[in-house]
Amino acid sequence: MKLIVKCCILLVLMINAHALPTSSGLSAGSSLDANMLDPADKPRGVGVGYDEGIPLLSVSIKSQDKTSLQRGAKMFVNYCAGCHSLQYMRYSRMGEDIGLVNYKGELDEALLTQNLMFTQADIHDAILNAMPKNDAKGWFGNTPPDLSLVARARGPAWIYTYLKSFYADESRPFGANNLLFKEVAMPNVLGPLSGKVILSPNLAPSMQALVLIENGQMTPQQFDSALVDLVTFLDYVSEPNKWERHRMGVFVLIFLGVLWILAFKLKQSYWQKIRKNPPKETDL
């Protein structure tokens, strides 16, 4: 009995240790994944209420929707890959996972290279970019971090809210600031799509205080849906095996269930024999 209790406690501890922030992102005092950022590149603000007290918007990601993943990947290579790398993801793996495959289920290399590869990289290379780190720091004030694990470190809701909280601010070098990440070094690269957004001076800083004053190439609904695709893609990149793991998990649980029934029946049959024919003291 004691052993079972100990095992249960161990299991709960393991599950807790593995649980990563999904909706709330980083909270005060927590730290980023060590692999994701070099200590020297650590963005300002980590550990001091990074979300600036702004409630995060909820986002329902569609991890198993291949068309959403494809749109997200396209968005990433068009708007983000110039500055951010995905160093733990290879083009070929991404292509296969997001469904760029031919009728045999094999990777369609032409589809991949024509639509998602704009560098000289080989399809088996990691998704890197040519931006020199030191120059980037000089240009932007901070190095654009690798985004391979950002969805695990911050949570999809944080990224979604972050991308929706850019607003025009002439006092900033690139004319843009962010509600969630004050004085962010990243320019508002999606500004042409979303349109011009300002922070209303009459309201306390919040999502409600962001006002669209000039339409962009997309309507607000189209922009939101494009962001959902982008966040879905970043969530996939941060854990490409997630759905495989979930699928396997179900089989493992079914297997364990069947094994339990067999073991229980076996135990019953052994004890039935023993009860019918109890061992005599002399046998022991």
Nearer to ligand HEC, 43 or 240 (CB): 43
**Using the rule CB under 6 A, is 61 a contact of ligand HEC?**
no
Nearer to ligand HEC, 81 or 107 (CB): 81
Q: Are 30 and 6 in contact (CB under 8 A)?
A: no
Span from 8-16, 63-71, 182-190, 215-223 in contact with ligand HEC (CB under 6 A): 182-190
Using CB under 6 A as the binding criterion, the count of chain residues that bind ligand HEC stands at 23
Report in angstroms how near the CB of residue 186 gets to ligand HEC at its nearest: 3
Nearer to ligand HEC, 59 or 185 (CB): 185
Q: Which residue has the tokens 């364990």?
A: 256
Q: What's the gap between Cα 240 and its chain centre? A: 10
Q: Are 91 and 112 in contact (CB under 8 A)?
A: yes
Nearest alpha carbon to residue 233 among 130, 104, 118, 147? 147
Per-residue CA distances from 162 to 55, 151, 154, 262 (Å): 11, 12, 10, 52
The rounded distance, in Å, linking the Cα atoms of 115 and 4 is 54
State which of residues 190, 197, 226, 237 lies at the interface with ligand HEC (CB under 6 A): 190
Report in angstroms how near the CB of residue 13 gets to ligand HEC at its nearest: 27
Nearest alpha carbon to residue 237 among 114, 121, 75, 115? 75
**Using the rule CB under 6 A, is 152 a contact of ligand HEC?**
no
**Using the rule CB under 6 A, is 142 a contact of ligand HEC?**
yes
**Using the rule CB under 6 A, is 189 a contact of ligand HEC?**
yes
Residue 152: DSSP 8-state:
H
Interface positions with ligand HEC (CB under 6 A): 43, 79-80, 82-84, 140, 142, 144-145, 147, 150, 154, 159, 162-163, 184-187, 189-190, 230
